[in-house]
A and B are shown apart, each in its own frame.
Chain A
Amino acid sequence: MRTEISADSRRIRLGRQLQHGDLIFWIVALLFAVLVVVLLGAIIAVTWSGSADARHAFGWHFLTTTAWNPVSGQFGALPAIYGTIVSSIIALLFAAPLGVMIAIFLNSLCPAKLRMPIGMMVELLAAIPSVVYGMWGIFVFIPFFRSYISTPLSKTVGSALPLFSGPVNVGRGLLVAGIILAIMILPTIAAISRDVLAVVPNSQREAMLALGATRWEVIRHAELPYARAGIVGGMMLGLGRALGETMAATMVIGNTPKIHASLFQPATTAASLIASQLPNANTDLHSSALIYLALVLFLITLVANSIARALVWRVSRTGSGA
């Protein structure tokens, strides 16, 4: 009985939707929506078929071997995967606490007059082209980093900690790339954290205040726990951006497909390896290996973004981070 009625009313509603040009609008909108799915499918199909040679030649070993030698036809993606993940994690380590602090400041500590200008400036960081970041890295940050950070560090703790060992004269390396990436993903993390902190219900804040909590305790015990999942989601979105960032990373990381213990040594990321080598790839296997690498990178960012979306989605649905 019930199902008949609902099926009937659904038919009536559909009928109404199709009247008066709604049908045309519906079809046009549907086409555009389908286009997104088709594009995604096309990208997967191209990377899949394009990487066929390399997949047959190296299989899963592609992910675990370190040799990258276009001349001898040996291709292992591990250095690029390592560089991608390590530089992104470094970026996240710097950007996450900074971004959350900026969000907290903008939300609860900033004078109302400064909130808009500072918030806009943070978001403006996202509008700077990545090639400009790369140039700034080469001309400003790398010389500064070499004089004041990497040289003193490698001379002191470098002998004990391989992570900070020299030589440092190249300048370009994993840590520099990570820090530049950190600046680039900072606005993403700050903006999302600010937005999720802003929707923490006032009742939670007031409950904490009425118990005699200080401003810091309100932030620490009421706001951050409530917004936690959303903030983590923002961090994962930032991570996703860092993983795929190409131009700035290519300019400052040194483009050397090798795994070094030291963060001061040049390395490479998947994106920068593809960008720097694909135009010069002479053999089919070389291009195929680069496309295989693109497929791997696509999967890595897909996973990071899915986690991020899931976390942000959970917050917006339940309004809670518990």
Chain B
Amino acid sequence: MEGMPMTIKPRGEPNLAIRFGAATTRSLNEIAKAGTVSTIKLETRHLSVKYRDFTAVRDISLSFPERQVSALIGSSGSGKSTLLRAINRMHDTNPAASVEGQVLLDKQPVYGAHVDPIVIRRRIGMVFQRPNPFMKSIYDNVAYGLTFSTKLSKREIHDRVEEALRGAALWDEVKDRLDDSALALSGGQQQRICIARALAVQPEALLMDEPTSALDPIATLRIEELMRELVKRYTIVIVTHNMQQAARVSDITAFMTMGSDRAGVLVEVGPTSRIFTNPTDPRTEDYITGRVG
């Protein structure tokens, strides 16, 4: 965020960049280009992902504003998850997958020649479709990301674990049984453990791949409330099948669909309120009104 004059600003308030004089012109241009009032945290430019010869997503250019929730919606096979996983380089370990185009984090290329994917994944956390806690205690699950690659004292680790569990709205439920197995928790709690685990590493952005699809409605609502809380500090990109969820939690919605050659393409993106009330593309309208998908 160096050189960016406005790093902290409550969601929805007018941009404060004007105060900062000389440096603002560039920033304002960027904001104007993005069409929102917020800084762009993450960006994809002409991003395509292929599995061998099969193109799973094609030519996606999207901007994800800082401290906002961006939702990727669309039917199965439209490449939402594939796109999401390209952002923190989760495709790197799959030799069959290849990524073309660019992903930018704070304007810096994520797929640069000298970029360490490990650093990228620590800056961009990820929460998966099914809760996948480790077969460890609650405490160890959250502390796990801290035990390698960082040199923290026990005290610091403990503080970070508590902070992360509070951040995931789980502390009060588990503080008396931190040594219990994480697998003994309910599905919703397990998913919040996974969120806490991601938060403990202190990422800047969170990618959530259908984080509530394996949960019941009440647990889903809790996660959604949590997302509204987390977005005050983190940039969130969520993939969801649930259009109500996208409408409830997101600021920006991007609609994707499967093209004629089965590659996922972007149809339209915009503020959630507009996408759901006044979509410009008929395909978007068909999808959100439930005529297809």
Task: Check B126 for interface membership: any CB of A closer than 8 A.
Answer: yes
Which has the most chain A C-beta neighbours within 10 Å: B90, B122, B130, B148?
Answer: B148
Q: Contact string, A287-322, partner B, CB cutoff 8 A, digits 1/0?
A: 000000000000000000000000000000000101
Q: Is the CB of B144 within 8 A of A204?
A: no
CB distance from B234 to the nearest CB of A (A): 14
Q: Does any Cβ of A come within 8 Å of B145's Cβ?
A: yes
Q: Are A204 and B132 in contact (CB under 8 A)?
A: yes
Q: Which residue of B lies closest to A205 (CB)?
A: B93
A226 interfacial by beta-carbon distance below 8 Å: yes
B residues apposed to A, CB below 8 Å: 88, 90, 93, 95, 118-119, 121-122, 125-126, 128, 130, 132-135, 144-145, 148-149, 194, 197-198, 201
CB of B134 within 8 A of CB of A212, answer: no
Q: Is the CB of B197 within 8 A of A211?
A: yes
Contact at A209–B128, with CB atoms within 8 Å?
no
Kindly name the residue among B95, B132, B197, B198 whose own CB sees the greatest number of chain A CB atoms within 10 A: B132
In the bound assembly, the distance between CA atoms of A210 and B125 in angstroms comes to: 6
Shortest Cβ distance from residue B136 to the other chain A in the assembled complex, whole angstroms: 8
Q: Which of B88, B126, B134 contacts A204 (CB 8 A)?
A: B134
**Given known contacts A217-B148, A221-B144, A221-B148, is B121 in contact with A209 (CB within 8 Å)?**
yes
Query: A35 to chain B: closest CB distance in Å?
Result: 41
The residue of chain B having its C-beta at the shortest distance from the C-beta of A204 within the complex is B132
> Which residues of the partner chain B approach A128 to less than 8 Å between Cβ atoms?
none
Residue of B at shortest CB range from A215?
A: B93
CB distance from B134 to the nearest CB of A (A): 7
* Chain B residues positioned under 8 Å from A320 (CB to CB): 135
CB-nearest residue of chain B to A201: B132
Q: Are A211 and B135 in contact (CB under 8 A)?
A: no
| 10 shortest interchain CB distances as A-B pairs | A212-B122, A211-B145, A210-B126, A203-B132, A322-B135, A212-B121, A207-B132, A217-B148, A212-B118, A210-B121
Residues in A whose Cβ lies below 8 Å from that of B149: 212-214, 217
Given known contacts A203-B130, A206-B132, A217-B149, A211 and B90 CB-to-CB distance under 8 angstroms? no
Q: Which residues does chain A contribute within 8 Å of B122, judged by CB atoms?
A: 211-212
Which of B95, B118, B125, B194 contacts A213, CB < 8 Å?
Answer: B118
Find chain A residues with CB under 8 A from B93 CB. 205, 209, 215
| Residues from chain B with Cβ under 8 Å of A211 in the complex | 121-122, 125, 144-145, 197-198, 201
Residues of A within 8 A of B119 (CB): 212
Least CB distance, A66 to chain B, in whole angstroms: 47
Interface presence of A112 (CB below 8 A)? yes
Q: How far is the CA of A226 from the CA of B135 in the complex (A)?
A: 8
A306 to chain B, nearest CB (A): 25
Residues of B within 8 A of A206 (CB): 90, 126, 128, 132
Q: Looking at chain B's contact residues, is the secondary structure mostly helix, strand, loop, or mixed?
A: mixed
Q: Say whether A225 faces chain B, with CB atoms less than 8 Å apart.
A: yes
Cα–Cα distance between A221 and B125 once the two chains are bound (Å):
18
Residue in B closest to A112 when the chains form the complex, CB atoms: B95
**CB-CB contacts below 8 Å: A215-252 with B:** 215, 217, 221-222, 225-226
**What is the CB-to-nearest-CB distance from B4 to chain A, in angstroms, rounded to a whole number?**
24
Residue of A nearest to B122 (CB): A212
Across the interface, name the chain B residue whose C-beta is closest to A321: B135
A contact residues around B201 at 8 Å (CB): 211-212
Contacting residues, chain A, for B148 (C-beta < 8 A): 213-214, 217, 221
Cross-chain contact of B88 among A203, A210, A213, A217 (Cβ < 8 A): A210
Q: Across the two chains, which residue of chain A brings its CB closest to B147?
A: A221
| Chain A 72-113 per-residue mask, 1 if CB under 8 angstroms from chain B, else 0 | 000000000000000000000000000000000000000010
Known: A217-B148, A217-B149, A221-B144. A210 touches B134 (CB 8 A): no
Cα(A215)–Cα(B118), bound, Å: 10
Beyond contacts A203-B130, A203-B132, A215-B93: 9 other A-B pairs, Cβ-Cβ < 8 A, are: A203-B128, A210-B90, A210-B121, A210-B198, A211-B144, A211-B145, A212-B119, A212-B122, A222-B134
21 sample A-B contacts, Cβ–Cβ < 8 Å, listed by A number: A112-B95, A201-B132, A203-B128, A206-B126, A206-B132, A207-B133, A207-B194, A207-B197, A209-B93, A210-B88, A210-B121, A210-B128, A211-B125, A211-B201, A213-B145, A214-B149, A215-B93, A222-B134, A226-B135, A320-B135, A322-B135
Which B residue sits closest to A214, measured CB to CB?
Answer: B118
Minimum CB–CB distance for B16 against chain A, Å: 32
In the complex, the answer to whether B135 meets A225 with C-beta atoms within 8 Å is yes
